[in-house]
Amino acid sequence: MAPETNTAGAVSCNACPLIDMSLPEPQAAAQVAAACARSGFFYVTHHGVPQELVDAVFEQQRAVFALPQEDKMALLQDRNNRGYTPFREETLDPARQRHGDTKEGFYFGREVAADSPEASKPLHGPNQWPDPARLPHYRQATWQYYEALYGLGMRLLRLLALSLGLPPDHFHPAFEQPMVTLRPLHYTAEISDPGAGVFGAGAHTDYGMVTILATDTVPGLQIWLPEGEGAEGQGAGHDAAEAAPGPGRGRWWDVPPVPGAFVVNLGDMLERWTNGRYRSTLHRVVNTVGRERYSIAFFFEPSFDARVEVLPCCTGPADPPRYPPTTSGQHLLDKYAATHAGYHAPAEGQRPLA
């Protein structure tokens, strides 16, 4: 597929194709299979989420981040990873970062009442919402968007299953009580300096199954691809002489905003399930334009107790399992504890056994 351009003329890489969600499922699934095996990143268009809803939720996120700092700190991230995360609280690439990411955010998960049996599990509980007297439309708009993205996530689950030659509902049992998280983010206008360890978001792979990302028009998202896998074109890539994030040669490529499209990328759990056939790719956010940036990440993760182990269709005598079995919840707890200064996972003895 030829490189796509956004309205600013930035060049994206060939490895991040546009996939039309209005195509028949078998055709769309074939395109998903190619994208997942190559970079694990793709755009989706004709996804069914109204642009008016996307615009409304971005307006509400700008309003919540504009609240006084004391109001946001009153909603500080709790033991269930719901609430506010201040600037520099998260460090996604501690080996290369001088300080935490130049962003602030919120976590909103599936609503679980405090007296529900589910609330005994880590990462489960009620959300912390801003004062409705301050932001009367925030909760309604945010939750409406959450539900729309949940529906899109279920459609993507079907395409992912079909892309692997599995029944379309194969992954559904692992998502009966999903850990679905909406994370609005606000990046400062501070220019990033990779050589000095300053990033909007440090290099990382996402932890779960799949991420659906909406961004404003400000660029910043980049993915790391091995040499030869990006598009050719001036301005598309970035100097590979930066400290390499992994073994082998490669470079960073822009994933520019595309109006009306979401960016979809795979997480570590799907890479584990597919034995590395599908890629959870390193990505980061680098501010090169000196403007504030807003994005909304939707993390679509399996149920806490869902067992994540290599699928039989992705292994064989010549390709034994590369990853040991784990559970969705254990994997997320370990990742959050390693990257968030404000989050402390329950002690080992307090975690439910899978």
Runs of H (alpha helix) within the chain: 25-38, 51-65, 69-73, 138-163, 268-273, 328-339
Residue 45 CB-density burial (10 A; 0-12 exposed, 13-18 middle, 19+ buried) = middle
DSSP state of 349: G
CATH 3.30.200.210, domain 18-231+244-338, yes or no: no
Mean pLDDT by 10 residues, the chain (354 residues): 33 77 97 96 97 98 98 95 92 90 96 94 94 97 98 98 98 95 97 95 93 97 84 47 58 94 96 96 96 97 94 95 92 73 51 36
Cα distance from N-terminal residue to C-terminal residue, the chain: 43
pLDDT tens per residue, range 289-336: 999 999 999 999 999 999 999 999 999 999 999 999 999 988 888 777
Domain ranges of the chain: 18-231+244-338
pLDDT tens per residue, range 106-152: 999 999 999 999 999 988 999 999 999 999 999 999 999 999 999 99
| pTM of structure | 0.89
Integer Rg of the chain from CA: 19
What span, in angstroms and rounded, lies between the C-alpha atoms of 230 and 4? 12
